[in-house]
Structure formats: structure tokens, C-alpha cells
């Protein structure tokens, strides 16, 4: 064993680095062999009962089953183990070396190893593109749109009316490689495009605007998470169905920035459907207006906050749903135009906000001719006026107590009862003022000049 002490010491040290827990050793300040507890020195891989012999020693390790790169035979000798350990090409390389060290990606790009000597650079967020993030992104327009399908990072995308000629392809616009647009994504007045698919696009630094595309049937952005400014789907007056989907979008713009908004306006056809299942925050306002499709559906089930106002007005089609079950608040300072408005939507039969707590300005629910139910069971504060003027309203579901800074008016069906969420407390005929359908709380009279407190 004497001639193999150094060799044994080296291999045990190496193995201890790989599987430290099975090794018990006490390091010595001099060059003597460390004290070793050889029982269970290696973790047991697979089949038990293998025996490995050291040369010039009667020392055996029971239960040792080495990984394939060290040899896997029951008669493997200690020297063969060393050969398998140190002769492998991967083991000879310095652990800190490789194709990503030093980082070949420039301007803050992220390197990923793709093979023994190969790599790829992720340039998203660097404002550069190219194999090593060293190229200025190009502006895609009508003169070079043929490069769009291969572009990974673009400075901007602008496909405008001048692209609607015989040279521009007719049919789907597929962008499988596009990951980021540093500026704006604008497609406007193009009669050739029937669908837009950019399901790997992760970020748009400016705005996205899709408008005046008469033959558009779908727009899909499955991986898009952030939009720096605003989102507009406007004036797409086709004759068929139009479906837009932003599966991963979480934020639009920045809080309080007036240019951070969502507009879904003036879309026609047989059906208009917009889905935003992951959207949490809109930096300014949400507007859904003047859509004349026969059927309309807008779904934002995760939306919690709209920093400015919500306006759903003049949508003439049959509304399958406006879904905002998670919305907790709208608006900022009082009297800054942060209104909560549902008006002139003849196809709406029910409006429900299950989580809404605060509206700092006006709530106006008016002239929705088919509206029978308005529900906001958690609503506790309205900064200015609370107005519900609906000819068909029969059910009003609100909390037991709401602080209102201005006037309160509830007008329902002339011949129908209006029921609150607690039927035992309120079941009266709606009138032009709410004095007959609410109970004024005398304990709050000192605040009456500032707020109107009413209870159902």
C-alpha cells in the first residue's frame, strides 16, 4: 500500500469532491494521509455487491457500482478507475473553461452552451441583435418585409398601406423567430394579411397597433409579456370572425403614464373576441368602444388594477361577456377623469365585478337597454357619484355599506322590483332617487357634506 498512498489520496480527494457526503476525512496540516472512514465511501449506484481491488493492497470496497464514465465492470482495477477518471476529454478541460467563458456575447447578451465547443447568444434586452449581439437591429417596413420572418430582434415593425400590392404576400403573416421589438409594432391598412402569428415574441418596447385590416381573422401573441406603451386593436371591419389572443401579457405601460392604455374599438364582423388571461395591470385606461360585431367577448380574468378609467360604451352587438372578476380598483386622484362607465351597450344583460372595492371618481351605468343585473358585492367606496339608470334593471348586488362622495341615483324597471344582495333588507320599487331604497346612517351626519353613506 505504501507505493499507492499518494494515488489513493488523490482519488479519494477527487471522489470526495464529487460525492462529499459518503466520505469522512480529517484533513492534516502536514502531508500525511488523511484519516479515512471507508465504510460507505461512495453512494451506491444500481446493483449491489460489486468488489473493486486496489493494486498492492488487500483493501476492498463493498457495494461500489461506479458510473459508466469510470468503468462498470466487477473486475475494474483501481488504476483503470483512475484512467477512466482522468483520460476523459471532458475531465481534462478546466471546469471554468468552455465556449461561454469568457462570455462571447457582447452588450450584455446571455450565453448558453449548445455543444462541446458551440454556443448561442440571447440578445433580448440588449438593444442589439446578431450572433453575438453586436449588430444594430433593422427597421422592418415595406422595402425589406421579406426579412421579417427571419428577424430575431427588430428596431421596429411597420407594415402600412403601401405594402398592399402584388409584391406583398397574401395570407398569414408568421413571425416564428421574432423575440423582441425595441420600438413599435404597427400593422395598418393592409388588405393582404389574413392572420398574424408571433408566438415567440416576448417584449415590445413601444406600442402595438393592429388596425384597418379588413380580412384579418386572428392575431396571436402567446409569449408576449410586456408592452412599453399602449395596445390598440382598431377598425378591423371584416365580414367574418376576428379573434385576438395575448396569452402571457401581464403589463401594459407604466403606472400613471397617460400613453399606457388598451383600446379595443370599432371592430366588426360576425364576432369579435379578445382574450388576455394573464393581464394584471393597465398603466392608464381601458376603453372598449363602438364595436359593431354581431357577437362581442372580452376576457381579462386576472386584471386587478386599471390606473385611470374604465370605459365600455356604444358596443352594438350581442355581448357574450365582459369578464373582469379580479378587478379591485380603478383610477387615481378624485376629479381627474377616472370614471367607471358602462353606457349604451344594448346587448349587455349582466355586469358583474366580483372583486371591485374602490372607484375614486364616478360610477355610471346607463342606457344598457337589456341590462337586468349589476353586481359589485365588495364595492365599498365611490369618490364622486354613483348612478345606475337602466330601464330593465331588476337586480342590484352591492355590499351592505358604500361610502359615496357625491349623489346616489338608482333607476330600474318601472314595473319591477329592484333587489339588493340581501333580499330581506331591501325589496322596493326603484325610483328616480335612492332615498326610498336606502337607509341613511345618522351616525355619519357629520360627514354628510363630504360623503353620502348609504346601506342596503
pLDDT at res. 124: 82
Mean pLDDT on 108-127: 88
pLDDT at res. 365: 94
- pLDDT class for 80, splitting at 50, 70, 90? low
Taking the CB of residue 152, how many other CB atoms lie within 10 A of it?
Answer: 16
- Looking at the predicted structure, is the pLDDT value of residue 100 above 60? yes
Beta strands 241-245 and 193-197 are unpaired
d(CA 448, CA 439): 14
pLDDT at res. 256: 81
pLDDT at res. 186: 96
d(CA 36, CA 34): 6
Contact, 211 vs 183, CB < 8 A? no
Mean pLDDT on 380-393: 89
pLDDT at res. 4: 44
pLDDT in tens, 288-347: 999 999 999 999 999 999 999 999 999 998 887 788 999 999 876 443 456 899 999 999
How far from 118 is each of 30, 93, 113, 222, 350, CA to CA, in Å?
43, 15, 6, 29, 58
Candidate from 75-89, 160-174, 252-266 with smallest mean pLDDT: 75-89
Task: Give 129 or 95, the one with higher predicted confidence.
Answer: 129
Mean pLDDT on 367-391: 90
- How many helices (H) does the chain have, and how many strands (E)? 3, 42
Residue 340, CB-side half-sphere exposure with 13 Å CA sphere: 32
Phi/psi at 337 (nearest 5 deg)? 80, 20
d(CA 367, CA 373): 13
Mean pLDDT on 430-453: 32
Candidate from 322-336, 352-366, 382-396 with smallest mean pLDDT: 322-336
Cross-strand partners of 113: 119
Task: Give 238 or 81, the one with higher predicted confidence.
Answer: 238
Nearest to 203 by CA among 268, 252, 133: 252
- Looking at the predicted structure, is the pLDDT value of residue 146 above 90? no
Q: How is residue 260 written as a grid cell?
A: 399606457
Task: Give 158 or 60, the one with higher predicted confidence.
Answer: 158
Residue 86, CB-side half-sphere exposure with 13 Å CA sphere: 9
pLDDT at res. 269: 94
CB crowding 415-452: b at 16 or more within 10 Å, else e: eeebbbbeeeebeeebeeebeebbeeeeebeeeeeebb
Taking the CB of residue 252, how many other CB atoms lie within 10 A of it?
Answer: 27
188, containing H or E segment: strand 185-188
Nearest to 144 by CA among 133, 136, 154, 134: 154
Mean pLDDT on 431-438: 32
- Looking at the predicted structure, is the pLDDT value of residue 363 above 70? yes
Percent of the chain scored above 90 by pLDDT? 41
Contact, 334 vs 359, CB < 8 A? no
- pLDDT class for 43, splitting at 50, 70, 90? very low
Contact, 195 vs 219, CB < 8 A? yes
pLDDT at res. 41: 45
- Looking at the predicted structure, is the pLDDT value of residue 12 above 90? no
pLDDT at res. 311: 94
Burial class (CB in 10 A: 0-12, 13-18, 19+), 234: middle
pLDDT at res. 34: 44
Helix %, strand %, coil % of the chain (to 5): 10, 35, 55
Q: Return the domain boundaries, the chain.
A: 2-92, 175-321, 328-456
Mean pLDDT on 415-423: 40
Task: Considering only the C-alpha atoms of the chain, give the largest distance between any 2 of them, rounded to a whole number of Å.
Answer: 107
pLDDT at res. 3: 45
- pLDDT class for 79, splitting at 50, 70, 90? low
Contact, 297 vs 321, CB < 8 A? yes
Task: Give 174 or 12, the one with higher predicted confidence.
Answer: 174
Contact, 411 vs 388, CB < 8 A? yes
- pLDDT class for 183, splitting at 50, 70, 90? very high
Mean pLDDT on 176-204: 94
d(CA 287, CA 296): 14
pLDDT in tens, 192-234: 999 999 999 999 999 999 999 999 999 999 999 999 999 999 9
pLDDT at res. 96: 61
pLDDT at res. 196: 96
Mean pLDDT on 135-146: 85
pLDDT in tens, 229-254: 999 999 999 889 999 999 999 999 98
- Looking at the predicted structure, is the pLDDT value of residue 151 above 50? yes
Choose the most confident range, by mean pLDDT, from 20-24, 267-271, 405-409. Answer: 267-271
- pLDDT class for 447, splitting at 50, 70, 90? very low
Nearest to 245 by CA among 224, 270, 269, 267: 224
Percent of the chain scored above 70 by pLDDT? 67
- Looking at the predicted structure, is the pLDDT value of residue 419 above 80? no
d(CA 17, CA 11): 10
d(CA 103, CA 277): 37
- Looking at the predicted structure, is the pLDDT value of residue 427 above 70? no
pLDDT at res. 143: 82
pLDDT at res. 411: 81
pLDDT at res. 301: 95
Amino acid at each position: 500500500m505504501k507505493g499507492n498512498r499518494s494515488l489513493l489520496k488523490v482519488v479519494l480527494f477527487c471522489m470526495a469532491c464529487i460525492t462529499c457526503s459518503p466520505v469522512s476525512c480529517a484533513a492534516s496540516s502536514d502531508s500525511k494521509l488523511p484519516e479515512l472512514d471507508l465504510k460507505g465511501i461512495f453512494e451506491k449506484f444500481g446493483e449491489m455487491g460489486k468488489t473493486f481491488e486496489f493494486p498492492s493492497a488487500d483493501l476492498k470496497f463493498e457495494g461500489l457500482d461506479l458510473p459508466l464514465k469510470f468503468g462498470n465492470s466487477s473486475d475494474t482495477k483501481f488504476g483503470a478507475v483512475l484512467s477512466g477518471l482522468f483520460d476523459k476529454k471532458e475531465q481534462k478541460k478546466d471546469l471554468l473553461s468552455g465556449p461561454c467563458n469568457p462570455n462571447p456575447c457582447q452588450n450584455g447578451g446571455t450565453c448558453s452552451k449548445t455543444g462541446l465547443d458551440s454556443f448561442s447568444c440571447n440578445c433580448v434586452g440588449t438593444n442589439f441583435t446578431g450572433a453575438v449581439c453586436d449588430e444594430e437591429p433593422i427597421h422592418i417596413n415595406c422595402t425589406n418585409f421579406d426579412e421579417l420572418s427571419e428577424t430575431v430582434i427588430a428596431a421596429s415593425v411597420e407594415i402600412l398601406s403601401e405594402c398592399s400590392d402584388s409584391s406583398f404576400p397574401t395570407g398569414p403573416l408568421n413571425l416564428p423567430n421574432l423575440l423582441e421589438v425595441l420600438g413599435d409594432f404597427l400593422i395598418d391598412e393592409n388588405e393582404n394579411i389574413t392572420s398574424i402569428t408571433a408566438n415567440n415574441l416576448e417584449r415590445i418596447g413601444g406600442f402595438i397597433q393592429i388596425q384597418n385590416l379588413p380580412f384579418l381573422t386572428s392575431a396571436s401573441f402567446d409569449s408576449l409579456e410586456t408592452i412599453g406603451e399602449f395596445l390598440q386593436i382598431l377598425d378591423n371591419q371584416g365580414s367574418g370572425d376576428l379573434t385576438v389572443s395575448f396569452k402571457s401579457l401581464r403589463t401594459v405601460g407604466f403606472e400613471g403614464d397617460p400613453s399606457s392604455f388598451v383600446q379595443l374599438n370599432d371592430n366588426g364582423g360576425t364576432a369579435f373576441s379578445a382574450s388576455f388571461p394573464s393581464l394584471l395591470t393597465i398603466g392608464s385606461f381601458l376603453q372598449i368602444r363602438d364595436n359593431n360585431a354581431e357577437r362581442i367577448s372580452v376576457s381579462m380574468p386576472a386584471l386587478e388594477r386599471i390606473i385611470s378609467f374604465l370605459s365600455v360604451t356604444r358596443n352594438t352587438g350581442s355581448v357574450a361577456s365582459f369578464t373582469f372578476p379580479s378587478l379591485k380598483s380603478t383610477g387615481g386622484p378624485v376629479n381627474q377623469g377616472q370614471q367607471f362607465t358602462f353606457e349604451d351597450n344594448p346587448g349587455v344583460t349582466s355586469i358583474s365585478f366580483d372583486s371591485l372595492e374602490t372607484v375614486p371618481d364616478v360610477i355610471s351605468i346607463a342606457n344598457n337597454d337589456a341590462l337586468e343585473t349589476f353586481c359589485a358585492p365588495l364595492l365599498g367606496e365611490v369618490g364622486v357619484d354613483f348612478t345606475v339608470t337602466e330601464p330593465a334593471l331588476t337586480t342590484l348586488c352591492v355590499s351592505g355599506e358604500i361610502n359615496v362622495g357625491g349623489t346616489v341615483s338608482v333607476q330600474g324597471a318601472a314595473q319591477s322590483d329592484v333587489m339588493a344582495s340581501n333580499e330581506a333588507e331591501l325589496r322596493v320599487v326603484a325610483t328616480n332617487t335612492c332615498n326610498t331604497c336606502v337607509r341613511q346612517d345618522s351616525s355619519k351626519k357629520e360627514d354628510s357634506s363630504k360623503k353620502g353613506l348609504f346601506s342596503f
